[in-house]
């Protein structure tokens, strides 16, 4: 993927980060790129909308994120009516796991071996023994640190340091996932829900069925920071959380 001149400065920074990942350009469908920063998607626009009459799940806007379109199998999309009937959800992850799933065109479950040779394990803070794939209808939940680990990114455009997060946008087949409550104890700790549209009791989706999740977008969020230390950083050639994006 190569960056193209854009008028939105936030979009340009996100393009720089994705370029740094050095993923194959064939994965992307730039015609479906969409920026949801405050300039491109102002606060006067709705926070959610209903995609179509056949999809009962609301589409919640990923405010302050940039979505890069991903190509999907159009034959599969037509046969299963993915665009018409499948729900939109989000899955927070790291670049190496994201790339492996996008290339495999299916979800990865704990115990699977990724394309870089590493094994996908249950990460700290998650429930042991849960060999399943978790998503959420709201990106705010999927982007929590337990799911999408913050990464350090130094931009060559403005020479500033940012925390970056990566979340996959998914299309999920209705009836193949369990809707359950959040497992981060957010309500108990903060006393408020993650989302003002989806209650915490319905904010987590769980599935172990391969082939029922399709990835149609790579979502990126950047937050500018000053001097700060990170335990998880990534490199432009080795999709590894022990390196840095410079």
pLDDT digits (tens, 9 = 90+) for 110-132: 666 665 666 565 555 445 556 78
Q: What is the pLDDT, as a whole number, of residue 122?
A: 56
Beta carbons within 10 angstroms of residue 17's beta carbon: 23
* Domains (range + CATH), the chain: 25-225 (3.90.228)
**Residue whose structure tokens are 């249950």:** 122
Q: What are phi and psi of 165, to 5 degrees?
A: -130, 145
Q: What is the CA radius of gyration of the chain?
A: 17
Tens-place pLDDT, residues 210-232? 889 999 999 999 999 865 444 44
Q: What is the pLDDT, as a whole number, of residue 114?
A: 62
Q: Which residues of the chain have pLDDT under 70?
A: 1-6, 52-55, 110-130, 184-192, 226-246
Q: In angstroms, rounded to a whole number, what is the distance separating the alpha carbons of residues 212 and 146?
A: 23
Q: What is the pLDDT, as a whole number, of residue 119?
A: 59
Q: In angstroms, rounded to a whole number, what is the distance separating the alpha carbons of residues 99 and 241?
A: 14
Q: What is the pLDDT, as a whole number, of residue 118?
A: 67
The two tokens of residue 160 are 């500033």
**Residue whose structure tokens are 């023994």:** 129
Furthest C-alpha separation in the chain? 51
- DSSP string for the chain: ------S-HHHHHHHHHHHHHT--GGGB-GGG-EE-STTTS-TTS-SEEE--TT--SEEE--TT-EEEEB---HHHHHHHTHHHHPEEEEEE--HHHHHHHHHHTS---TTPBPTTSPBP-PPTTSPTT--SEEEBSSHHHHTSTTTS--EEEE-TTT--EEEEEEEEEEEE-TTSSEEE--SS-HHHHHSS-S-SSS-GGG-EEEE--TTSEEEEEEEEEEEEESS---S-B--SSS--TBS-B-
């Amino acid at each position: 993927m190569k960056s193209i001149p854009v008028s939105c400065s936030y979009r340009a920074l996100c393009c720089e980060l994705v370029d740094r990942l050095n993923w194959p350009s064939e994965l992307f469908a730039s015609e479906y790129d969409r920026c949801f920063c405050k300039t491109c998607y102002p606060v006067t626009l709705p926070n959610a909308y209903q995609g179509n009459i056949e999809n009962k799940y609301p589409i919640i806007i990923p405010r302050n994120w940039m979505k890069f379109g991903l190509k999907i199998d159009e034959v599969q999309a037509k046969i299963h009516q993915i665009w018409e009937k499948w729900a939109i959800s989000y899955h927070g992850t790291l670049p190496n796991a994201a790339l492996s799933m996008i290339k495999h065109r299916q979800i990865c479950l704990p115990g699977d071996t990724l394309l870089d040779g590493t094994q996908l394990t249950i990460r700290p803070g998650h429930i042991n023994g849960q060999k399943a794939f978790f998503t959420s209808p709201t990106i705010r939940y999927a982007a929590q640190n337990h799911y999408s680990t913050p990464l350090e990114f130094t931009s060559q455009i403005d020479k500033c340091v940012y925390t970056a997060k990566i979340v996959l946008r998914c299309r999920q087949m209705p009836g193949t996932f369990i809707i359950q409550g959040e497992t981060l104890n957010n309500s108990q700790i903060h006393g408020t829900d993650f989302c003002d549209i989806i209650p915490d009791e319905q904010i987590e989706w769980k599935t172990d069925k391969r082939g029922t999740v399709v990835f149609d977008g790579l979502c990126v969020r950047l937050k500018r920071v000053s001097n700060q230390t990170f335990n998880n950083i990534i490199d432009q050639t080795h999709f590894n959380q022990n390196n840095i994006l410079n």
